[in-house]
Chain A
Amino acid sequence: MQLAKHWRLKGPRYRLAAVRHPETGAICFPPPADSAEWDEVALSGQGVVESFAAVGKAADGFVDGSIMALIRLAEGPVITAQLTDLEYADVTIGLQVEMVTRKLRDLGPDGLIVYGYKFRPLLSQV
């Protein structure tokens, strides 16, 4: 079930916990493995769709037809994430999105429910 892996990733996944280099100020997400000395910083969750694609045949545990996107976060990093609360026809490059914490995977009746970030259109613009 890879419980340790999911546990290690909970901060970045649940709330976009990133790290800032104490000297250069560079923000890195997800935090690199050797960032124990960096400062934790919470990202705003605001971003813009840079590119996107529908997943025709998803990997086990994911849903066919889900929409993956490259999101440029307001603080700079570009991440890959699933879009939610919209249809494929409604996605455009440049769409402003915000982070929500949703179910990513359900590992079955004897498994973990994996939560993490997805992005949706700004609620104020729906």
Chain B
Amino acid sequence: MAKPVLPTGIVGYGAYVPRFRITGAEISRMWDGGPGTPVAEKSVPGPDEDTITMSIEAGRNALRRAEVAATELGAVWIGSESHPYAVKPSGTVVAEALGCGVQISAADWEFACKAGTEALTAAMGMVGSGMLPYAMAVGADTAQGRPGDALEYTAAAGAAALIVGPAERAVATIEATLSVVTDTPDFFRRAEQVYPVHGNRFTGTPAYFGHISNAARGLLDQLGAEPGDFSYVVFHQPNTKFPQTVGKQLGFRPEQIAPGLLAPRIGNTYSAASLLGLCATFDVARAGDRIMVVSYGSGAGADAYALTVTDRLAAVRELAPVTSTYIERRTEIDYATYAKWRGKLVMG
């Protein structure tokens, strides 16, 4: 378990979800997938959107709620597995667009779906040790799934930005974090390949459930806490079922999971998924609520956090669009439009 040396918290948060949706039924229609899809629908980035543009909007929303100038940020770190460039950090463009100063760290982080929380833990370290006043951690992805593969039903797009700063300005203080990592090849993509491969059922028990349970139980044990001590819990959400199942296994109630469970409506936003769930939970939480967040990244690892909401949250919540504003703004597209926009058509 790691704790910041100085009292540290999340001082601003911002969400972004593109407006386009494709339903599971539409994907199933194309591939004879039958009824029952892992999510009802998923978000799709527009043709002028990518991880950088989504990070910029989420970052602007976080700055509004933090009520700090972009020039006060000491770091802008983007966690993603869909950085637009293989070489040229997304953070360089995002920091410039946010209006940060040039004396800033702007790097990209990678760890499958927990790249965003890797950035968050690093931001905690820099702020919690007193090295930086504020640091922004973003999780963002425009995920790809091979046509017809199970992943195509869920691989979605979104971004969430958190600004870490001093606890006295926090919307939620950070009590502690705990990370778990093993070498588990449940899902990977070789360099130069367009689509990832996954281990089907192997992605369940030894991968998602094993790592999330280890991280969550480890943090609970070391804090001397129980699931009932938390008002809300957010898990990485690759589909509708997994976060509900792991929540039940750990002893959390469905109502603790509900506000942050976005996968049924927007799919798996990969590096954004657990952080977007946290944003949606912040949208309803009250001062004094404790929130547990547990991300998961294939390969594999999980990061668990224990947060406590302060009374500043209610004062700044409406300074930027709440998560549901983006989720309810939906324009449905068909498979042909989706395939064209997502580069799935080989033009010969």
Residues of A within 8 A of B (CB): 10-11, 14-15, 17, 42, 63, 84-85, 100-104, 113, 115, 118, 123-124, 126
| Residues of chain B whose beta carbon lies under 8 Å from any beta carbon of chain A | 19, 46-50, 52-53, 56-57, 84-85, 93, 96-99, 321, 325-326, 329
The reply to whether B48 and A14 contact each other, CB–CB distance below 8 Å, is: no
Partner of A101, one of B47, B56, B85, B329: B56
Instruction: Pick the contact of B96: A11, A42, A126 (CB < 8 A).
Output: A11
A-B pairs, top 3 by smallest CB distance, nearest first, are: A14-B97, A102-B48, A103-B48
Q: Which of A15, A100, A113, A118 contacts B85 (CB 8 A)?
A: A113
A contact residues around B93 at 8 Å (CB): 14, 115
- Contact among A11, A84, A124, A126 for B48, CB-based, below 8 A: A84
Across the interface, B329 reaches (CB within 8 A) one of A103, A104, A123, namely A123
CA distance A113 to B47 in the complex (A): 13
CB-based contact A85/B46 at 8 Å: yes
Kindly list chain A residues whose C-beta atoms are within 8 Å of the C-beta of B84.
113
Would you give the shortest CB distance from A25 to chain B, in whole angstroms?
Answer: 21
Please tell me if the beta carbons of A63 and B47 are within 8 angstroms of each other in the complex.
Answer: yes
Task: Kindly provide the distance from the CB of A99 to the nearest chain B CB, expressed in whole angstroms.
Answer: 10
Question: A113 to chain B: closest CB distance in Å?
Answer: 6
Docked-complex contact B57 and A101, CB < 8 angstroms: yes
B99 to chain A, nearest CB (A): 5
CB distance from A83 to the nearest CB of B (A): 11
Complex Cα spacing A11 to B101, Å: 12
Q: B48 near A15 (CB under 8 angstroms)?
A: no
Question: Chain A residues near B50 (CB, 8 Å)?
Answer: 103, 113
- CB of B321 within 8 A of CB of A123, answer yes
Q: Contact at A115–B52, with CB atoms within 8 Å?
A: yes
B contact residues around A15 at 8 Å (CB) = 96-99
Whether B329 pairs with A100 at a CB distance below 8 angstroms is no
> Nearest Cβ distance between residue A31 and chain B, in whole angstroms?
15
Q: Do B96 and A10 touch across chains, with their CB atoms under 8 A apart?
A: yes
Q: 26 pairs across A/B with beta carbons < 8 Å? A: A10-B96, A14-B56, A14-B96, A14-B97, A15-B99, A42-B99, A84-B46, A85-B19, A85-B46, A101-B53, A101-B56, A101-B57, A102-B48, A103-B47, A103-B48, A103-B49, A103-B50, A113-B50, A115-B52, A115-B53, A115-B93, A118-B48, A123-B325, A123-B326, A124-B325, A126-B329
Across the interface, name the chain B residue whose C-beta is closest to A10. B96
Residues of B close to A103: CB separation below 8 A: 47-50, 53
CB distance from A44 to the nearest CB of B (A): 12
Chain B: which residue is nearest A123 at the CB level? B321
A103 vs chain B, min Cβ distance (A): 5
| A101 in contact with B97 (CB, 8 Å) | yes
Besides A101-B97, A103-B48, 19 more A-B contacts (Cβ < 8 Å) are A11-B96, A14-B56, A14-B93, A14-B97, A15-B97, A15-B98, A15-B99, A84-B48, A85-B19, A101-B56, A101-B57, A113-B50, A113-B85, A115-B52, A115-B97, A118-B48, A123-B326, A123-B329, A124-B325
A100 touches B96 (CB 8 A): no
Contact partner of B321 among A84, A101, A102, A124, CB < 8 A?
A: A124
Q: Are A102 and B325 in contact (CB-based, < 8 A)?
A: no
Report Cα–Cα, A42/B70, bound state, in Å: 12
Smallest CB–CB gap between B147 and chain A, Å?
21
- With A and B bound together, what is the CA distance between A84 and B47 in angstroms? 10
Q: How far is the CA of A84 from the CA of B48 in the complex (A)?
A: 8
